[in-house]
Every structure is written in structure tokens, then in C-alpha cells.
Structure 1
Amino acid sequence: MSDDLRIERSGAVATLVLDRPGSHNAIRLAMYEELPHLIEEIAADPDVKVLVVRGAGRKAFAAGADISEFQEVRGDAAGARSYNERVAGAERALGALRKPTIAMVHGYCIGGGCGLALACDLRFADERARLAITPAKLGLVYSLESTKRLVDLVGPSRAKWMLMSGKQLDAGTALRVGLVDEVTSPDDLEAHTYDFAELLTTRAQFSVRAGKEIIGRVVAGQTEEDEATLDLRNSSFDTSDYAEGVRAFLDKRSPAFTWS
């Protein structure tokens, strides 16, 4: 297990911390290898409803992959293929988590760090945040999966601008083009992120997770209802949370949802 990743829990919100502040939380291969196992742990924990992903400290979410490892772990084609498979596996595991995920972006969010942030459902950033994807600076090619996540958020033209140039976007530009969802002051980012995460824990979790799944299907190209999406919609009427939501509305009170 890598010592550079840790899980913190506070009520129904868990936090996955990239914990290498001395290197701006640069991501080592061992971290990519460990991340899917930690995601499995979060997925299996019924008490966790939302996951926040962040870097340690306030200078960086992650400054990218740890390039100091590249000659050792990515020095030839075979090593590069193995490395790329582990990066893809980490991002895929994060993206596939049924529970909502929020990337909390302080400062630098570059390269592999941006890849992890893109795999989250939402991205909240501070005003000093700088985001970039930099394969063109290293002679690399970004994966199709990661490129699709980028295109889905910012569109093909802006994705080309980012991938071809490797230039950094400031927080305001990232918000304008859809790369991040909300921007706050550095002092307010943590409270704002966790307030929103706590809000999500109060919502009907069947609805939250079903909504995430259906949006994923739409992004993947599905345009018509099928048996799976109809089952999601119809199954909601059988949940205790649906009955509670209706009662709470009629009683003019906040609902107390219990499904997890």
C-alpha cells in the first residue's frame, strides 16, 4: 500500500488525499496502483455517500505524474504500456464509482492531476488554480478515454487548444469553458466544497446515483430509454425514500432519507 494516499472520513463524506505536499502531490506509479483498491473500499462502505478528492496542503491538487520515475517505470515501450494501463485503471475506477465525487482543486492541477480531476463528477477550484494537460510537452499521447472526458467538458476545439499547447488555464477561464464547476477564494474553497458534499448526503441516494448513471449513459451516446433506464426510473417508486419524500413534501418538512 502506498503511504502517499490516505482516506479520511467525516460522517457520510470521505476524502481521498493525495499526500505528497513536498512535491506538489505529484502522482507516483504506486499511487495509481493503489487508488482502485481505495475506491473499492469507498464503494463497499454503506456509510459513505460522497467522496471528495484533494491534494494535501493548499498549493496543489496534483502537479502531475512524478516525472522523476519515468526513466525507471516508463523507460521503454513495455514499461510505458504497463504504466498507462495503471493510470487508466485508476481514472476508470474513480469515474465508475456510483457515489458522487468532487475534486477540490487548490493551486496546480496539471497533467495526471488534471486527469484524476476530470474523472470526478464535479470540480471546485480556488481562484489561484491553474489547470493544464501537458502530453505535448513530454512527447506523449493522451489516452482516448481521458481525451473524451476532456472533450465532453470543454468541447473539441478547446480540447485541441489544451492538448496541442499544454498551456495552463487560470481558474476564471476554466470556469468559463466548463473545465471546473465553481470557483471560490482559497480561504473559502474547503468549506464550500464540504458544504456541497454534505448537501448531497441529505438527498435521496437512489436518485443521486441513478441520475449519475443515466447522465453517464447519455454522455456515452444513449438517446432512448432502454430496459435498464426504465428499471431505474420505475424502481424509485418502490423505495422507502420515495414514500418519505412525498410525506415530507405534504408535511412541509425536510425529508429524512435512509436508503444507502
Structure 2
Amino acid sequence: MSDQILIDGEGPDGVATVVLNRPQSHNAITIDMYRELPGLLGGLDADPDVKVVVLRGAGQKSFASGADIAEFERERGDAERARRYNEHVAAAERALDGMVKPTIAMIHGYCIGGGAGLALACDLRFADDRARFAITPAKLGLVYGLESTRRIVDLAGPSRATWILVSGQQIPADRALQLGLFDEVVPADDLAATTYGFAEVVTTRAQYSVRKGKEMVRRVVAGQLRDDAETTAIRNGSFDTGDYAEGVRAFLEKRPPRFTWK
């Protein structure tokens, strides 16, 4: 693992924090960071001790200010290199979007371009009240990818997604909350406590329910409207985990449940 991406022990047990660690450049994302993310996230998804992943930028000025434009002439200097670059970006976003475990983007300050792409690939986005969100390909003569565009449309709707894409304008935190791009907006000093407080709640829940609930949401977003054999098996599988019996027992005994499924 490079020093441009860190895994931080901040937060409660069961929560892994992935830090985009280039504060000197507002955590602008390099091609090496995009290359590194899929393997790192895959390892966290496979780790039985990790229940929630938080993605954040180093410091409190930026989540990520975008892809590192200083690399563009070298890494995207012609069409073929640009295609390869785009493949790495898409792979990093898919790795986040495809995680079995819940993911939360903790957004201080700027969340721009490629940074916004990573944040949108997370399940939830908690931001401070100084945050600024923007998708900026129209300012660089680029076109946003279909999968990334779909995530904006899913959250904000088609007309607002169009407004975001064609303008490239920065959106303040309160407006991003109204548009559905952010899920929580709090004062900067409260962001870590709010994010990790929610993450800790998720770690106390039955993990089969958490992960399969996330899968159900993903299926609905992909267009599935009726149960099939797979979704029926997912739902019925909860009765075989042991956590169902523990949850009922804990409720009747008026105590916190001790869930064990990993």
C-alpha cells in the first residue's frame, strides 16, 4: 500500500477508514491511487472483522478535489492512454459500488470531479456544512461515464443530473442535501462523530441483514421489481444464521442482541 492511500484505525471496532492522503493537493486522485483502490477495497470486503468502510480525505479541507490534472498530459495525452486511464477510474468506482459491506463517504470541504465520482459510488455521503460538490467534465472537454452518470440520476433525477453535468458548477452542501447527493450535512466539528456514530450503529446490527438488505436495494436500483428464486432464498436464508433466533430472544429478554454471523 502506498502512502497516498492509508487505512486508518480511527473509529469504533468493526469500522475501517480508507484515507485519500494527498492533503498538499487537496487529495487530488492520482492514477496510482485509482489502480490501488480495487485491491485494497477487496481486501476489506473479505476481512471478517470489518463491518463498515468509511472513505475520507486527509485533513478537513477536502474529501478530494478531483483527478490530478497535473498527470493528464502524461497519462491521458492521447486517446489510447485516456481510454486506459478511464478503465482504472471505472474499476475503482465499481470496486466501491460493488462492495458487500456498507460504505460511507465522509466529506470535508471539496468533493469535486473524480472525488465526487468516488463519493457517489459509496452507499452514503455524510458532509460538513462547508462542503462543495461538483462534476466538472464539461470544464475539461470530457464526457462523464455512463455508470457514473447513472449514480447521479439515481440520486438526483434526470433533469437535475443534466443540470449538474452541463454546468459543472459547484453546489453548496445545503443544496446538495436537497438534491439527494448528500445524506447528512452537519457542522465540520461534528462530522466525524456523526459519521462514526452511524457506522457504529451499523456494526451492532445483524450483518446478514445489513449486507443482504444492501443487495436488495442494489437489485431494485438495477430494475428488479418482483421476487425471484434468488431474492426469496436471500430472505429465507436469514432464518439459518442464528442471528434471527438471537434477535427474537434478546427482544423478549429486553437486552441488546449478541449477533455472531460474519
TM-score normalised to structure 1 length: 0.99
Q: Unpaired segments of 5 or more residues in structure 2?
A: none
Q: Equivalent residue for 2:188?
A: 186
Q: Equivalent residue for 2:226?
A: 224
**Which residues of 2 match residues 28-39 of structure 1 at below 5 A?**
28-39=30-41
**Which residues of 2 match residues 38-187 of structure 1 at below 5 A?**
38-187=40-189
Give distance in 2, aligned partners of 1:12 and 1:3.
23
Amino acid corresponding to residue 201 of structure 1 in structure 2: T
Give distance in 1, aligned partners of 2:86 and 2:211.
29
Give distance in 2, aligned partners of 1:199 and 1:155.
29
Amino acid corresponding to residue 50 of structure 2 in structure 1: V
Give distance in 2, aligned partners of 1:120 and 1:175.
15
List, as ranges, runs of 4+ consecutive aligned residues in structure 1 with deviation greater than 6 Å.
none
Amino acid corresponding to residue 149 of structure 2 in structure 1: T
**Which residues of 2 match residues 14-33 of structure 1 at below 5 A?**
14-33=16-35
Q: Percent identity between the aligned chains?
A: 67
C-alpha RMSD of the superposition: 0.7
Bigger drift between 82-91 and 38-47 goes to: 38-47
3-state SS in 2 of match to 1:58: coil
3-state SS in 1 of match to 2:56: strand
Q: Equivalent residue for 2:6?
A: 6
For residue 44 of structure 1, report the CA deviation from its aligned partner. Answer: 1.4
3-state SS in 1 of match to 2:130: coil
Amino acid corresponding to residue 62 of structure 1 in structure 2: A
1:195-251 deviation per Cα after TM superposition (whole angstroms, max 9, x unaligned): 100110000000000010010000000011111111100000111110100001111
1:3-26 deviation per Cα after TM superposition (whole angstroms, max 9, x unaligned): 200112352000000000000000
TM-score normalised to structure 2 length: 0.98
Q: 1:203 aligns with which of 202, 205, 217?
A: 205
Give distance in 1, aligned partners of 2:54 and 2:91.
19
Amino acid corresponding to residue 2 of structure 1 in structure 2: S
